Amino acid sequence: MTSSEPLLSEAECNAFWQSVENVRAAVSRQIAADPRPAAVIGFVQSVQQGIDAVVKARFSRGAQPDCKAGCSHCCHTCVEALPAEVFRIARHLAGCATEDVKNIQVRLAQQIAADNGAQSWKDRPACAFLQNNRCSIYEIRPGVCRKTHSLDVKQCASSASEIPEDLGVLLDAEALIKGTADAYHASGYESAGTELARSVLMALTNPGLEARWHQGERLFEGVGVTAISSTLTL
């Protein structure tokens, strides 16, 4: 969803940023309460479940998304993930059979090599985790993927610059993602959004990378990163 005009009133903007702060404070408390590496990484699951709950609740009351299983237009976009999400995915993949890990590394490398930075979805390579038009890491996919939806899949198919989405879903999900990123940052962890394919490949091929992240190192700077922030024009 893009627009050059503000989408929200001043009061709505203030409410959004207050939600971000509430999430930041809550996540910061959780990280401080259990700073073990596995817990710090694993906590993003709660945030992702929160996004799922937001999406489910919102669409149970209003218009339904036009997305269906097997529809994968958005799986050709550049995906941004929190570093903690990257390491959670890498942990999951590391537990797979060696041959499977090698195969996903090859697919990630192929996606990266084919990525020409095009803005149009149809001109970008598919996500390496997309297999037979299904997400192979669906249960642990990043929050950005969880909030993405379309109210008109025909717009997606035409690579339209504006895709109709539910503003309430975007705001609530953005508050969860931004607040979580701010909490990791405040706790001393790198938290800027990082490009999924390159970052997961780095984590899979550098076993000590997660430990360095826990020590406060900035590992993903320059790896297709943009700060996690609201994509809405507030």
pLDDT at 144 over 60: yes
Residue 33 token pair: 């309460």
Whole-number average pLDDT of the chain: 90
Least confident span in 1-5, 49-53, 62-66: 1-5
For residue 119, what pLDDT is reported?
A: 74
Rg of the chain over Cα atoms, rounded to whole angstroms, equals 18
The pair phi, psi for residue 194, each rounded to 5°, is -135, 150
For 153-194, write each residue's pLDDT tens digit: 999 988 887 899 999 999 999 999 999 999 999 999 999 999
pTM of this prediction exceeds 0.75: yes
For residue 36, what pLDDT is reported?
A: 96
CB 27 within 8 A of CB 183: yes
The predicted model gives 112-132 an average pLDDT of: 87
What is the helix (H) or strand (E) element at residue 89, kind and residue range? helix 83-94
For residue 234, what pLDDT is reported?
A: 53
Distance from C-alpha of 54 to C-alpha of 176, rounded to nearest angstrom:
10
For residue 232, what pLDDT is reported?
A: 44
Q: Within 10 Å of residue 144's Cβ, how many Cβ atoms?
A: 23
Distance from C-alpha of 140 to C-alpha of 85, rounded to nearest angstrom:
8
For 69-106, write each residue's pLDDT tens digit: 889 999 998 999 999 999 999 999 999 999 999 999 99
pLDDT at 132 over 80: yes
Distance from C-alpha of 188 to C-alpha of 156, rounded to nearest angstrom:
38
